[in-house]
Each structure stands twice: as structure tokens, then as C-alpha cells.
Chain A
């Protein structure tokens, strides 16, 4: 709970646990609306269910109309695809499946890493309409959880619950002015923190190689140009105005220095490398333990 006395609504969505905190308990009708937002997102974007739109796109090429928000997601991905020279891409799903991160969670590599197809070869993403020229496995995992947090915040505001705090299993969105003290999880030991930060209005999202890891050197942050997991960065955090941006930038930090991303995005960042060193922007100064 971010604040004493607040009420929490917890549920599972898009493969992870969520907690929406509000000053008072949400009514049943409000909860149902939130769950409907989650269901709509999952039905469009989940590659872990056979009836989703992306599951259809994985079976055959075509024209796919995605729900509201897909345009913003596509523009963000396109921008980061350019800034990372193709390393960060929504077309990485096939590479993940190749290494065993498939809908059946086989977690067994099928063979050597497989690069993602080049965006312009297979995908035309115009606002909410995706047109593909080949069967492609889309995976928006790098920004999707953040975007869903933002969509839930929109729904909460529409319900008049403008003051809220959303915890999407470690990706956090704070709508109110009251800051929340947040620990930064140690990349090698989830029982420890490497620092604490005060999160005011905005989002703090993280990515790390210690979770969704299923073997030596096998984890979920893949370089789309090679199909292999990134190995020089082990954990990242990004602070931004909204959760979709913070979520995506946390992944982008695995590929590009924070300073380079700051030329295109207004955000604060912290990157922990596999040699145990850290780099960070001004927003994270004094946050790490010494």
C-alpha cells in the first residue's frame, strides 16, 4: 500500500499481478470496468493466447485493427527502433519463442538465436492499423505493461478516482502529488534493494535480467538484431511522465546509453551493468546506497 489507510484492488492481468490503490475502496462496478480494460488489452496483444489479434498475426499476414492507444504504442516503438538501430523491436516475439519463451512456456531453446525480421520488410504500423506481409510474432512486452497501467489510470480518472497508485508488479504509476518511497530491487537478490527513491507524480518502471530468466544467460531482454539476450546490462530504471514511456525506456537502456535517449525523451534513468557498476542521470543522484 503506498499510503496508510488506502484500499487495494489486486488482480492478475497480462501474465502478472496488479495492485490498484485508492484512498477509499472501489465499487464493484468500478472494478469490473478496470478488468474490462485489462481484458481488452490482453485480447489484442497477448501472444500467450490463441484468440488474440497478435496470435492471428502470427498465423498469417494481413491487416489487423488494434484497440485505442495502438498508434501511440507504434510511434514509441518506431522511435526506439531507430534509436537502438533495430535492437528494440515489437517483432522480437519469434526470437523469444526460438529461445523457449513461447506460449507453452517450454523454456527450452529450439536452436540458435534467431534475429527478428526487419520492420520495413514485414510491418506497416499506421496508427491503430497494422499491416503485415508475413506471419510475424509481435511482442510488445517492453512497453505494453506500462501502457496498460496508463489505460487503467485513464479509466480511473473517468470514474472520478483521480487519486490512485498503480503497481504493475514493480512498474509503478503515481497519480497523486503525495510522494511514495520506493526501493530499487537488487538485480541479483530480490530480497534486497540497492537504493530508494521518492516517486512523485509520474511513473517509475524497471527492467532486469534476473526475472523471466530461465537459464544461464537466457532472459527476456533480447537484441532484435541478433535474437540473443543482452549481456552487458543487468538492470535499469526509468522515471517518466507516463508508464508506457518509462516502461519502454527501461528496456531501451539495455541497448543505448541513457544520455543518448535523453536527446529524444525527457526522463531520468539508472543503469546497472554486469560488472557491478552503475550509471545514472541527475534524477537518480543520491539514490543508491554507498
Chain B
């Protein structure tokens, strides 16, 4: 179960990092790779309870948070991400807002509300479906490299 847990965390953080660029509202507002790449992944255990023992087996249940930075036309902004893990899945995602101006507040607020209100998810095993359409599963080499980077970042 360790891989799905880490994967969920990773996907969640990677997705949320996109907020910044939307809030920035301009192509030039891309957050640069270095800003929070490893920072967001490695600083996950924020509650102090899931530290050392998580190294080999993935993250334990708990609430994790990390701040990420991005550059907007208004300067550098910070967005906080909080993930709750339970039983191997992300059970809650929330955005901690650190808006420094009304525009940022509006964009971040819309995003924070958006996940819960607009993209509603149901567990796959609760659905009667025979196939899942989604972005490609990745190759072995790719997955291994991602895992390596994540373990180094921990």
C-alpha cells in the first residue's frame, strides 16, 4: 500500500501547485521548478508524528501541510496546502490561504472552493465500471526515477 499513498500525496501536491500559476494569471507567472519541488514533497510530515518510520513504508495517517511559492504579477505569493491521509488515501485536501491582495484572495478562494464543489469524486471501487479513462500509467523506468527522487527528498 505504500506506493499508492505516496502517489496520492505526490499527485495532490503536484496538482495544487498549479493553483499558483492560475492565480498569477499570466504565462510568465509559472512557478519555477526549484521553488517548491522537493520542498513540498519532503516537508510533508508537519504534525511531527509521521517522521522517521515513514521512510520505508510511505506516509502514515495524519494531516500534512506544506507551503509553496509562486510568482504572480504582484510579486511572490505563498499558498499553503494541507492533505489528510487516512487508510492509504487522501481523504481531504485544503488550501491555506495567505493572500496578500484581494485578487489573489479571489483566485485562491475559488480554487479552494473548487475542489470540493465542482470536481466531485467517487471511489472507483464503489462504481460499476469496467474501464477507467485517464492519463497513461507511467512506465517502469519513469516510476522508479520518481520514487528515487521522492526518497531522496524525504
Give the B-binding residues of A (Cβ under 8 A).
1-3, 12, 15-17, 48, 99, 105-109, 112-113, 145, 165, 167-172, 180-194, 196-197, 199, 204-219, 223, 226, 228-229, 231-232, 234-235, 237, 272-278, 288-290
How far is B82's CA from A148's CA once the two chains are assembled, in angstroms? 40
Interface SS majority for chain B: helix
B48 within 8 A of A: no
Asked whether A192 lies within 8 Å of B121 as measured between CB atoms, the reply is yes
22 A-B pairs, CB-CB below 8 angstroms? A12-B139, A16-B138, A105-B141, A167-B131, A170-B137, A172-B133, A182-B130, A183-B132, A185-B133, A185-B135, A186-B121, A188-B15, A190-B134, A191-B8, A193-B122, A193-B129, A196-B129, A205-B133, A214-B149, A215-B37, A235-B134, A274-B111
Contact of B31 among A187, A213, A216 (CB under 8 A): A216
B30 within 8 A of A: yes
Closest Cβ of chain B to A50, distance in Å, is 14
Closest Cβ of chain A to B151, distance in Å, is 13
Contact of A189 among B40, B89, B128 (CB under 8 A): B89
Given contacts A187-B15, A192-B124, A216-B17, is CB(A276)–CB(B114) below 8 Å?
A: yes
Given contacts A180-B131, A226-B27, A276-B115, is CB(A192)–CB(B122) below 8 Å?
A: yes
B11 within 8 A of A: yes
Closest Cβ of chain A to B33, distance in Å, is 5
Asked whether A212 lies within 8 Å of B110 as measured between CB atoms, the reply is no
Asked whether A194 lies within 8 Å of B138 as measured between CB atoms, the reply is no
How far is B130's CA from A99's CA once the two chains are assembled, in angstroms? 36
B38 within 8 A of A: yes
Specify which chain B residues have a CB less than 8 angstroms from the CB of A172 in the assembled complex. Answer: 131, 133
Specify which chain A residues have a CB less than 8 angstroms from the CB of B116 in the assembled complex. Answer: 276
> Top 8 nearest A-B pairs by Cβ distance?
A276-B114, A185-B134, A192-B121, A208-B135, A231-B21, A215-B37, A15-B139, A105-B145
Contact of A187 among B7, B27, B90, B119 (CB under 8 A): B119
Contact of B33 among A1, A99, A205 (CB under 8 A): A99
B118 within 8 A of A: yes
Specify which chain A residues have a CB less than 8 angstroms from the CB of B11 in the assembled complex. Answer: 188-190, 210, 213
Count of A-B contacts judged by CB separation below 8 Å: 229
Asked whether A170 lies within 8 Å of B133 as measured between CB atoms, the reply is yes
Given contacts A109-B33, A211-B137, A216-B35, is CB(A189)–CB(B90) below 8 Å?
A: yes
B56 within 8 A of A: no
Total B residues in contact with A, Cβ cutoff 8 Å: 67
How far is B33's CA from A190's CA once the two chains are assembled, in angstroms? 24
Closest Cβ of chain A to B15, distance in Å, is 4
Asked whether B119 lies within 8 Å of A272 as measured between CB atoms, the reply is yes
How far is B138's CA from A249's CA once the two chains are assembled, in angstroms? 20
Contact of B136 among A169, A209, A216 (CB under 8 A): A169
Asked whether A206 lies within 8 Å of B36 as measured between CB atoms, the reply is no
B76 within 8 A of A: no
Asked whether B22 lies within 8 Å of A180 as measured between CB atoms, the reply is no
Asked whether A183 lies within 8 Å of B40 as measured between CB atoms, the reply is no
How far is B10's CA from A48's CA once the two chains are assembled, in angstroms? 24
B45 within 8 A of A: no
Asked whether A194 lies within 8 Å of B119 as measured between CB atoms, the reply is yes
How far is B31's CA from A231's CA once the two chains are assembled, in angstroms? 10
B113 within 8 A of A: yes
Given contacts A188-B12, A193-B132, is CB(A107)–CB(B119) below 8 Å?
A: no
B44 within 8 A of A: no
How far is B141's CA from A138's CA once the two chains are assembled, in angstroms? 20
Contact of A188 among B107, B110, B115, B130 (CB under 8 A): B115
Nearest A-chain residue to B13, judged by Cβ: A216
How far is B120's CA from A272's CA once the two chains are assembled, in angstroms? 12
Specify which chain A residues have a CB less than 8 angstroms from the CB of B20 in the assembled complex. Answer: 217
Asked whether A234 lies within 8 Å of B21 as measured between CB atoms, the reply is no
Given contacts A184-B134, A190-B7, A210-B15, is CB(A15)–CB(B89) below 8 Å?
A: no
Given contacts A107-B146, A192-B121, A216-B36, is CB(A210)–CB(B127) below 8 Å?
A: no
B144 within 8 A of A: yes
